[in-house]
Amino acid sequence: MIATFSMSAIAGTVVLHWLSGRIFPSAGAILRFSIIFIVAFPIVVWISSLVFDARMSRVAAAAWYFFACELYVFCFTLSLGSVSVKLLYILRAGPRSRRDLEEAYSPAGMVDIRLHRLVAAGFMMPGEEIKVTKKGAMIARVALVLRNLLHSTQKNSFRQTLPS
């Protein structure tokens, strides 16, 4: 019953996300999903309180719904931004040499796409000289704090990439 409830809820959320993509094609997929989730999660919790009598059943239903949403976001962001998935897309058309792969998905192109996205998200200022916005600087600081908490201090790729 709990599994059926959570699966129905995530299926409904994915359908809404798909519909929102048809209605607002220019809006970002993550923004569309975030808005849907903010509205849908309290509704799912409320409906679960009507369906289930036991408190732990309601907690379980909400937790598995939340997990399924997170997994869905992980999957679609992976298919949007992952280098590995893009290499698979390219190779689906047929075998390629290493040079072909490098040309089809060049580091310069990867940088351009990321810069474009960072500017569009308001993390960087557009213009000749690339500058980070306040919002971007805040995200970078949070990322550094998290990195220092989660990773070994002996292996820090962020530090390795910083200019001396």
Partner 1 sequence: MKELLQANPEIIHGAILLLFFVSHVAIVRHFARTETAIFKVQFSVFVLGPLVTLIVVWKLGLIPSFEMILAFYGLSAIYAITFLELWSLTESSYSLQMLVMLTKGAREIRNASEEIGESKHAQRIMSLVRLGLISPHVAGFQISRLGRVVATGATAIANLAGVRYRE
Distance of closest approach, residue 78 Cβ to partner 1, in angstroms = 7
Q: Determine, following the binding rule CB under 8 A, whether residue 60 of this chain makes contact with partner 1.
A: yes
Q: Least Å distance between CB 50 and partner 1?
A: 16
Q: Counting contacts by CB under 8 A, is residue 57 touching partner 1?
A: yes
Q: How far apart are the first and last CA of the chain?
A: 58
State residue 120 phi and psi, 5-degree precision. -60, -35
Closer to partner 1 by Cβ: residue 50 or 150 = 150
- 132 beta partners: 124
Nearer to partner 1, 21 or 39 (CB): 21
Q: How far apart are CB 66 and partner 1 at their closest, in Å?
A: 6
8, 11, 39, 102: which one contacts partner 1 (CB under 8 A)? 102
The angle formed by the CA atoms of residues 106, 107 and 108, to the nearest 5 degrees, is: 90
Sign of CA dihedral 147, 148, 151, 155: positive
